[in-house]
Chains A and B, each alone.
Chain A
Amino acid sequence: MQATREAVSPTLSAEAIAALPDEALEEAYVVRFDAHQRIQHMLMIGSFLALVVTGFPQKFPSIEVCQWLMDAMGGIQTVRLVHRVAGGILIFDGIYHMAYVSFTVLVLQRTGPLQMIPNVKDVKDAVRTVQYFLGMSLQPPKHSRFTYLEKFDYWAVFWGMVVMGGSGLIILFPVLVTRLLPGQIIMAAFRAHSDEALLAVTWISVVHLFYVHLAPRVFPFNPSMFSGRVPARRYREEHPLEYAQLVESGKVLMVPADGPTPPGPAVNPPVVVFPDYLQASTASADGEEPDSDA
């Protein structure tokens, strides 16, 4: 038996939740990503790493390590085959994501993904964040579901996927492409594929290195993208507007220790989950710490 969306009930008012003791918040988490999003990310990791390992020796053939890698992986023919298969997987991942977003918005009539669309507040937020960093303002701006940086990163990767997938297909099928387009497109795509790859690898490495690993608030590793969950305390700091909205609209799940399995991403995110809270006095903390992915 599993907690479902139907189980979400405004059992506590926003005021009551705000009045909950600190330890309640320690246990609580927000389900931020569902299974589809996590699978999409994992497909991306796998194919991206394969693409980098097989792509960089092609970009930098004069580097000795690249030559060694190329040889160790069975030569250029094998490397290109693996690169193309991995590219196919990543393109599939992109299509999967588009289908997922379309289905969520059009069929399920949920507006969640639309929050990724940039707006004026993002520009203001960016300016205010820099002001805050520089000490020109005392408080950082309050973020909703996606911060301006998350949106930028998403659209950078989105654009990167289109460029890499598109240019990759163009240089894979030059004869077909030149039936419609001028021949120069082939060399332009060749160039773009190579340069965009360098940008993507550098960008993704730096973003993850800092925001997922080295940043003090998540050090040494932020597993949210795999578990789908973010500790409620951090969520309240990083996405205060959305958190307040969740609490106010009653998207709060109280899970008794002997009740249904604490929800993983099977519950449509976002939702705040307080596991064990109602039975906090009887069930010890070890019992129902959510660790399964439902």
Chain B
Amino acid sequence: MRSASWPRWLLVWLAMGSLVLAVLLVLVRGGLASAGQTSEAPVSAQAPAAMSDDECLRCHSDPDASLSLPSGETISLYSDPAVFRRSVHGDKLNCADCHVRNQTVPHPSLNVVTARDFHRAEYELCKRCHFENYTRTLDSMHFDVVAAGNPFAPVCTDCHTAHSVTRLTESRVQIAKTCSQCHSTIYNDYVQSVHGSALQSEGNPDVPVCTTCHGVHNIQSATTATFRLASVDMCAQCHANKELMDKYGISSNVLKTYLNDFHGKTVGFYQKQSSQVWAETPVCFDCHGVHNITRVDDPNSPVIKENLLPTCRQCHADAGANFPSAWLSHYEPSLQKAPIVFFVKEYYRFLIPLMIMGLIMHISLDLWRLARNR
């Protein structure tokens, strides 16, 4: 109500003024942003008093530089500048860009007891730039392990290293090796598997590595009902891809035939329903193996005909010799592969339309006669 008594010209000027101000602001911000593209290190720009690398290296180029921790452990304080310069950050960052808290000499004292404490405190530096991937790791099962009290679950630097960071996507072999630092038993299975051996021997670009199935930063537990149900589609990403499978002479029909069969049907229902249930029904890896998966014609394959019965008996303990042939081995029923099933299928393809059309014709004729008789 008060503003109504203001002179009208003042309001007009105020409105026009704020409009001009807004336009100017937009222009200036746009200019700043385009200027920012030329320099990829805005972090260093914000820290005018940054120490130069030379100053850091005055101490940290000494290979014997170390620090004793209250736990009795010593950690090396040496950093090879050549290694760092070769890393993915080498042409972008300087020491002080990451180690912001250590810009004064002497450095502020550390409040850590063990070496692991130190590493777990330092890895937090990564999130200043890599915030998205950092938050993803907070959803990972590795973080759950930390939350459960195990400090040794990996943080950024455990997989990526602190200073010699390379792009892991450049080397699929390196990805598997990275995981093997902790998961060595699984890695040993994997390198002998049809997937892992192809990766090792020929650097095959199509076979899955750890992260293909398990994800990267938000790695989920592989022992949940959700993972189990999703695993079918995980395998299908490649194995239902005709182009990819043709390359290796493998059927791309495996998902379809699985979902049409008794096990796959059930898993299909579990996938669709809202409540998550642990599916006792077998998924791909229950029969084919997980990390140690082999070619289906390998004599050691759990699904080769000679080995199939023991595989069935993992669930169907009393299964007899005929039992495995109940499973059509990912084949569509045909005259050659499953003649009885094929005949049943053809019988109904013929019978259903015949019966229903016959009945409807009978009714139609009946009605027609009734209408004519009226």
Interface residues of A (CB under 8 A from B): 58, 61, 67, 70-71, 75-77, 130, 132-135, 149, 156, 171, 174-175, 178-179, 181-188, 190-192, 195-196, 198-199, 202-203, 206-207, 210, 215-216
Contacts of B362 in A (CB 8 A): 149
Assess the A133–B366 pair: CB atoms within 8 A: yes
Contacts of A130 in B (CB 8 A): 365
Whether A187 contacts B265 in the complex (CB less than 8 A), given A192-B344, A198-B352, A203-B359, comes out as no
- From 255 to 289 in chain B, residues with beta carbon under 8 angstroms from any chain A beta carbon are 261-262, 265-266, 268-270, 272-275, 277
Chain A binder among B2-10, B170-178, B295-303, B312-320: B312-320
> Can you list 23 A-B pairs with a CB-CB distance of less than 8 A?
A61-B269, A75-B275, A76-B269, A133-B366, A133-B369, A134-B365, A156-B355, A175-B316, A181-B322, A183-B324, A183-B326, A183-B327, A184-B338, A185-B326, A187-B326, A188-B338, A191-B348, A195-B348, A198-B348, A198-B352, A202-B356, A207-B359, A210-B363
- From 111 to 140 in chain B, residues with beta carbon under 8 angstroms from any chain A beta carbon are none
Q: Which residue in chain A gives the minimum CB-CB distance to B366?
A: A133
Assess the B269–A184 pair: CB atoms within 8 A: no
Q: Which residue in chain B gives the minimum CB-CB distance to A149?
A: B362
Tell me what chain B mostly uses at the interface: helix, strand, loop, or mixed: helix
Judge whether B184 is part of the interface by a CB distance below 8 angstroms: no
Contacts of A195 in B (CB 8 A): 344-345, 348, 352
Contacts of B352 in A (CB 8 A): 195, 198-199, 202
Assess the A206–B359 pair: CB atoms within 8 A: yes
Sorted from nearest, which 3 A-B pairs have the closest CB atoms?
A183-B325, A195-B348, A186-B326
Q: Which residue in chain A gives the minimum CB-CB distance to B360?
A: A206
Chain B proximity of A279: nearest CB distance (Å): 38
- In the assembly, what is the distance between CA of A184 and CA of B95, in Å? 69
Picked from B266, B325, B372, the residue with its CB within 8 Å of the CB of A135 is: B372
Contacts of A216 in B (CB 8 A): 370
Chain A proximity of B68: nearest CB distance (Å): 59
Whether A175 contacts B323 in the complex (CB less than 8 A), given A75-B275, A133-B368, comes out as yes
Contacts of B345 in A (CB 8 A): 191, 195
Assess the B323–A174 pair: CB atoms within 8 A: yes
Name the residue among B268, B324, B340, B362 with the largest chain A CB count within 10 angstroms. Answer: B340
Whether A174 contacts B359 in the complex (CB less than 8 A), given A58-B269, A191-B344, comes out as no
Contacts of B341 in A (CB 8 A): 184, 187-188, 191
Judge whether B328 is part of the interface by a CB distance below 8 angstroms: yes
Contacts of B333 in A (CB 8 A): 187, 191
Interface residues of B (CB under 8 A from A): 261-262, 265-266, 268-270, 272-275, 277, 316, 318-320, 322-328, 333, 338-341, 343-345, 348, 351-352, 355-356, 359-360, 362-363, 365-366, 368-370, 372
Q: Which residue in chain B gives the minimum CB-CB distance to A189?
A: B344
Assess the B274–A71 pair: CB atoms within 8 A: yes
Q: Which residue in chain A gives the minimum CB-CB distance to B338?
A: A184
- In the assembly, what is the distance between CA of A187 and CA of B275, in Å? 29
Assess the A178–B338 pair: CB atoms within 8 A: no
Q: A67-B272, A191-B344 are in contact. List 8 more A-B contacts (CB 8 A).
A: A70-B273, A71-B274, A133-B366, A175-B316, A183-B326, A186-B326, A187-B338, A198-B348
Chain A proximity of B133: nearest CB distance (Å): 35
Contacts of B323 in A (CB 8 A): 174-175, 178, 183
Assess the A133–B365 pair: CB atoms within 8 A: yes
Assess the A75–B348 pair: CB atoms within 8 A: no
Contacts of A199 in B (CB 8 A): 348, 351-352, 355-356
- In the assembly, what is the distance between CA of A238 and CA of B311, in Å? 61
- In the assembly, what is the distance between CA of A149 and CA of B362, in Å? 10
Contacts of A132 in B (CB 8 A): 369
- In the assembly, what is the distance between CA of A207 and CA of B275, in Å? 39
Contacts of B324 in A (CB 8 A): 183
Contacts of B328 in A (CB 8 A): 187
Chain A proximity of B342: nearest CB distance (Å): 9
Chain B proximity of A65: nearest CB distance (Å): 13
Contacts of A178 in B (CB 8 A): 319-320, 322-323, 325-326
Q: Which residue in chain B gives the minimum CB-CB distance to A174?
A: B326
Picked from A174, A181, A206, the residue with its CB within 8 Å of the CB of B363 is: A206
Contacts of A179 in B (CB 8 A): 320, 322
- In the assembly, what is the distance between CA of A227 and CA of B274, in Å? 44
Contacts of B368 in A (CB 8 A): 133
Assess the B359–A71 pair: CB atoms within 8 A: no
- In the assembly, what is the distance between CA of A133 and CA of B274, in Å? 53
Assess the A184–B340 pair: CB atoms within 8 A: yes
Contacts of A75 in B (CB 8 A): 269, 273, 275, 277
Contacts of B268 in A (CB 8 A): 61
- In the assembly, what is the distance between CA of A6 and CA of B363, in Å? 41
Q: Which residue in chain B gives the minimum CB-CB distance to A167?
A: B344
Assess the A58–B265 pair: CB atoms within 8 A: yes
- In the assembly, what is the distance between CA of A195 and CA of B356, in Å? 13
Assess the B356–A203 pair: CB atoms within 8 A: yes
Name the residue among B328, B338, B341 with the largest chain A CB count within 10 angstroms. Answer: B341
Contacts of A61 in B (CB 8 A): 265, 268-269, 272
